[in-house]
């Protein structure tokens, strides 16, 4: 499904939506076309319209703080679908860097992708105790960073709007 970057009235990135939803916002005059997808069109019975790639809302939408939901798949995306101990891409699980039995929380900063073998070897130890250093430290991605780096949906036209953070 084709995704469209939705900008707030001030050109700050807001969200992603389907091309169909973006076309509806354009048709209802609730948004303006900023960039179209080169060579792609939306066809109706009587007309052709440019396929939107970036749209801007006509009214400013106030959103206090947009965050990335903590989920298994989002942690895997952040960690490039590879074990943070050995680099393996098969049989991934989630590992608590500081084990839950020792007070570790289920947070972005304490979860990493790990293959079943490494997760089992590490067991109830910290990476230092198990002598299994992490390839990179876990972190909480910002929404814009997540869209830009981990969603796999970024198009060329989006980059100048996603360059913050």
Q: In 79-165, which residue ranges form alpha helices assigned H by DSSP? A: 116-122, 143-145
Question: Domains in the chain: how many in total?
Answer: 2
Q: What angle do CA 8, 139, 99 make, to 5 degrees?
A: 140
Per-residue pLDDT of the chain (165 residues; tens, 9 = 90+): 688 889 999 998 888 888 999 999 999 999 999 999 888 998 889 999 999 999 999 999 887 777 788 999 999 989 999 999 999 999 999 999 999 999 999 999 999 999 999 999 999 999 999 999 999 999 998 877 777 766 666 677 777 777 644
- Do 108 and 71 contact (CB within 8 A), yes or no? no
Do 97 and 113 lie in a common domain?
A: yes
Considering the domain boundaries, does residue 134 fall inside one? no
Helix (H) or strand (E) holding 7: strand 3-7
Domain range spanning residue 35?
3-65+143-158
Do 80 and 117 lie in a common domain?
A: yes
Considering the domain boundaries, does residue 107 fall inside one? yes
| Pairing outcome for strands 13-18 and 48-57 | unpaired
């Amino acid at each position: 499904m084709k995704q469209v970057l939705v900008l707030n009235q001030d050109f700050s990135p807001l969200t992603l939506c389907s091309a169909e939803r973006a076309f509806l916002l354009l048709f209802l005059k609730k948004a303006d076309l900023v960039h179209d997808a080169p060579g792609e069109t939306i066809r109706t019975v009587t007309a052709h319209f440019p396929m939107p790639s970036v749209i801007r809302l006509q009214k400013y939408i106030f959103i206090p703080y947009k965050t990335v939901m903590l989920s298994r798949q989002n942690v895997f995306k952040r960690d490039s679908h590879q074990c943070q101990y050995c680099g393996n891409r098969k049989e991934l699980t989630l590992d608590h860097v500081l084990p839950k039995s020792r007070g570790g929380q289920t947070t972005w900063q304490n979860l990493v992708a790990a293959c079943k073998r490494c997760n089992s070897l590490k067991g109830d130890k910290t990476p230092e105790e198990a002598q299994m250093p992490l390839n990179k430290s876990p972190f909480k991605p910002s929404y814009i960073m997540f869209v830009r780096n981990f969603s796999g949906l970024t198009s060329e036209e989006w980059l100048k709007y996603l360059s913050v953070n």
